[in-house]
Amino acid sequence: MNIFIVYAHPSKDSFTHRALLGFLEGLDSAGHRHVVSDLYAMDFRTDMTEEEYRRESHYRLDLPVPCDVLAEQEKINRSDAIVFIYPVFWTEAPAKLVGWFDRVWTYGFAYGPQRGMKQLEKGLVICIAGRDRGHLDEHGQTDAMKTVMLEDRMHDRVKTRDFVILDSTAKHDLQARQAHWDRHLRTAFMVGANIASTTR
């Protein structure tokens, strides 16, 4: 499979970056090809211009799509699966990734009567959370994140969707972080190695 990874973390000195590397190792072990958009390293612009806003708010196909957005859309249409890897910030992806959706999910590509975006075989989220999974579930945060990422942003743009949380990674709780470290990296590797498996 051709896998497009959209990665959003401002620091390479992070567990999120290690999870990315583990996931890529898993892909490589299974013979998959991959391309990574590292949004912070690319300095991807996440704020819409006024012209972009006019295009989206008025469904204007006659207004141009910026070159950096077209490049991301081309990566999508050359892929079989799309993967988002990011840390959880306030029950949401970092603003850098949210802005990527704002700009890349354009009218005429990701939505509208004649979409140019191909339907991908697989959509996957790997998010790294400081809180433990029990807390996220109890407070409705897991469901909220799944609703936004799987039901809104991915929706029918992918055939199958999956959501993986690597929890308890907060640096202030080093004991929990260390206890889960190796297991989470194994999970990232295995998810990459088995990405072609069918999920919901």
Map tokens 């790997």 to a residue.
126
Gap between the Cα atoms of 65 and 49, Å rounded: 11
- Which domains does the chain carry? 2-193 (3.40.50.360)
pLDDT, tens only, 165-187: 998 887 665 666 677 778 999 99
Asked if residues 137 and 87 have their Cβ atoms less than 8 Å apart, the reply is: no
Whether pLDDT at 114 is above 90: no
For the CA atoms of the chain, what is the radius of gyration?
Answer: 17
Nearest CA among 105, 97, 99, 101 for reference residue 16: 97
Look at residue 37 and give its three-state secondary structure.
strand
DSSP for 55-67 reads HHHTT-TTSPPPH
With both helix axes pointing from N to C terminus, report the angle between 67-77 and 95-104 in degrees, rounded to the nearest 10: 90
Question: What's the pLDDT score for residue 170?
Answer: 72
Question: What's the pLDDT score for residue 130?
Answer: 85
pLDDT, tens only, 36-82: 999 999 999 999 999 999 999 999 999 999 999 999 999 999 999 99
Question: What's the pLDDT score for residue 196?
Answer: 87
Nearest CA among 35, 84, 44 for reference residue 66: 44
Beta bridge partners of 128: 87, 166
With both helix axes pointing from N to C terminus, report the angle between 174-193 and 15-29 in degrees, rounded to the nearest 10: 20
